[in-house]
Chains A and B, each alone.
Chain A
Amino acid sequence: MRKFGIVRQSIQMSLDNIKSNKLRSFLTMLGIVIGVAAVIGLITIVQSVTGSIMDQFNSLGAGTITVQTPGTALKRGVSDNDIEKLRNLTGVSGVAPTVTLSGSAVYDDTIYDTVSIDGEDLTYFLHTEDPVSEGRIFNSSETDGYTNVAIVDKNFVTNVLGGGQAVGTTFRLNGYTYKIIGVAGDTDSLTAQLTDTSGLDGTVTLPYRNVLRMSGSDDIMSMNVYVEEGYNTASVEDELRDTLDEIYNDEDNAYSIINLESLTQVMDTIQGMLTTMLGGIAGISLLVGGIGIMNMMLVSVSERTREIGLRKALGAEPARIQLQFLIESITLSLIGGLIGILVGLLIAAIGAAALDTPFKISYGAIALGAGFSAAVGIIFGWMPARRASQLNPIDALRSE
């Protein structure tokens, strides 16, 4: 309260100073503006981009662990019993065996021989968001038995069916006749997302036992393990490894595990590194900006030597002179910081529009920008302010 008068007066005075030295103040602030704009703009862009990649990852398979089990020479794949063991592990809400084959489809007397055939059971459909965009998914009697029903993807509809009505249509696949009951949604499976399907005529999803029968083997080579909500995927992954090691007697290369969560962690690390690197670049420009502020403050102190002498004669203690000049440099760099935040958000918005990612304001980055510019004001204002406070009042009053 007692110091409030001097603080308010100092802020007012520094605003007056900035106004009366517009060009000089603007150029001085520019360094801070660029530094803060870089912090805000780049960090916001990096976070939006990696954020949207992560969102895609999560929609593909948050809590999903993909296990490939080619097996060993002695034991190919895994059996139904092994699957049951995995299903009973703590934290596992379901295991969906997946069988993938390729085959040829016949429709309207034409042969399409690059068709991918996926076998899935009910568990897969229960753990997949919007598995079909049209029609329905399999029911339990269809997945438990050998009913000839199929869900086809959009490529199949376009390439094989010629864009016609899909649900209810029948076609032949590897010698059997199948009835289409549904059309798969856009992001039906991780495999579909991560594999290039452009060379395929289409993908057909069948109850997995049908596909197993086609493959002529009971060995399951691939499965999705779904982690129950609230369980750590990493610890479930460890349990899976223990069980699989037991199944394969600790043989090497019998299985591989793709844990999307760990991919997400890699993304996190990349994001952190990018943020640090950009932060470093921004830090350098803030340093340059800070030196600019220090320079302007030193000029200001020497220009206003007589004013400082007068203030001292009128009873200003050295600490107050120091406070006044410190407030001036903080005001200067905070104004630069605020302009920088606005410019940075503008850059981020333009960047988001250009990269077609959602524009997310990062409040952390804004706080960082404001905090950094205030810190720059304090750090680089300290020396000039100290110099002002130590001026001898007699010499200061005498200076012209």
Chain B
Amino acid sequence: MSDSIVTTEQTSAGRDTSAKVILRMEHINKDYEMPGETLHVLKDVSLTVHEGEFLAILGPSGSGKSTLMNIIGCLDLPTSGDYWLDGKYIFDEDETTLAQIRSKEIGFIFQSFYLLQRQTAFQNVELPLIYADLPEKQRKARVEECLARVDLSDKMYNLPNQLSGGQQQRVAIARAVANHPAILLADEPTGALDQKTGAQVMQLFHELNEEGNTIIMITHDGKIAAHAKRIVKILDGVISEGALEDA
């Protein structure tokens, strides 16, 4: 919890040690009670992420990476351990508080986009802004700005089924950045895309990271993880800092 712990982790290349700590996990455990046994899905996970990082959490299915993502994204709470997100200590919050934290701090990007099919691109991007209680005028300006950022100004009023997969994922990214969250949390963001559009999405991630966004990407694909500046590997609920070659 002291600064020394933080600095000793600053070993990978290209990270700004003076940057603000945006996420800190200390000895996080997550257990699931099953009939007759307890599943230890996350085992003593400690992780620190600074503002402006582009981090990949790499692991095969069943490694606990989804559980880790859920805890980072405040969709779930750890069984034990300490978690600070953007300076807030998160422990045993109720559903309403967790929703408010997600609204402000987390921008989710999902493998299969999860756009509301009967709503236009504009309405989809507007949704988190409505939940954040932004006035209508500001919402409109923000949605337009975000859709312009992902080069979809001309598809603003298209429904998702009138967009290609890559375009849909860009709408989802615009939705994720709309509230200026502390962390963009992407779960296999290219998993449903072909290689070319996947590469375009990764290019967009690079640009967003250059612009100062903190990105945490969960993936099982080493090639995709290689786009990140820092890789954390997870296996059987244990994480380790690592270079790509070990993947």
Does A associate with B in a complex? yes
Asked if B130 and A313 make an inter-chain contact with CB atoms under 8 angstroms apart, the answer reads no
Chain A's closest residue to B99 (CB) is: A317
How many of chain A's residues have a CB under 8 angstroms from any CB in B?
24
Asked if A393 and B75 make an inter-chain contact with CB atoms under 8 angstroms apart, the answer reads yes
Asked if A317 and B139 make an inter-chain contact with CB atoms under 8 angstroms apart, the answer reads no
A6 to B100, CA, bound (A): 15
Asked if B127 and A311 make an inter-chain contact with CB atoms under 8 angstroms apart, the answer reads yes
Known: A315-B103, A319-B96, A394-B76. A310 touches B116 (CB 8 A): yes
Chain B interface helix/strand/loop/mixed? helix
Near A by CB (< 8 A), chain B positions 94-132 give 95-96, 99-100, 102-104, 106, 108, 110, 114, 116, 118-119, 123, 127-128, 130-132
Q: Does B31 count as interface, using CB distance less than 8 angstroms?
A: no
A6 to B75, CA, bound (A): 22
Chain B's closest residue to A4 (CB) is: B136
Q: Does A5 count as interface, using CB distance less than 8 angstroms?
A: yes
Q: Does A103 count as interface, using CB distance less than 8 angstroms?
A: no
Asked if A5 and B114 make an inter-chain contact with CB atoms under 8 angstroms apart, the answer reads no
Asked if A394 and B102 make an inter-chain contact with CB atoms under 8 angstroms apart, the answer reads no
Q: Tell me, rounded to whole Å, the shortest Cβ–Cβ distance linking A384 to chain B.
A: 18
Asked if A314 and B128 make an inter-chain contact with CB atoms under 8 angstroms apart, the answer reads yes
Known: A306-B114, A315-B102, A315-B104. A6 touches B95 (CB 8 A): no
Known: A310-B114, A314-B102, A315-B128. A5 touches B95 (CB 8 A): no
Asked if A5 and B130 make an inter-chain contact with CB atoms under 8 angstroms apart, the answer reads yes
Q: Does A70 count as interface, using CB distance less than 8 angstroms?
A: no
Asked if B130 and A6 make an inter-chain contact with CB atoms under 8 angstroms apart, the answer reads yes
A16 to B123, CA, bound (A): 13
Contact partners of B131 in chain A: CB under 8 A: 6, 311, 314-317, 320
Q: Tell me, rounded to whole Å, the shortest Cβ–Cβ distance linking A24 to chain B.
A: 15
Contact partners of B106 in chain A: CB under 8 A: 313
Chain B's closest residue to A396 (CB) is: B75
Q: Does A228 count as interface, using CB distance less than 8 angstroms?
A: no
Contact partners of A316 in chain B: CB under 8 A: 99, 103, 131
Known: A310-B116, A397-B114. A317 touches B96 (CB 8 A): yes
Interface residues of A (CB under 8 A from B): 2, 5-6, 9, 13, 16-17, 20, 306-307, 310-320, 393-394, 397
6 A-B pairs with C-beta separation under 8 A: A13-B119, A312-B102, A313-B102, A313-B106, A314-B175, A317-B95
Q: A9-B130, A307-B116, A314-B128 are in contact. List 4 more A-B contacts (CB 8 A).
A: A5-B139, A6-B131, A312-B75, A397-B75
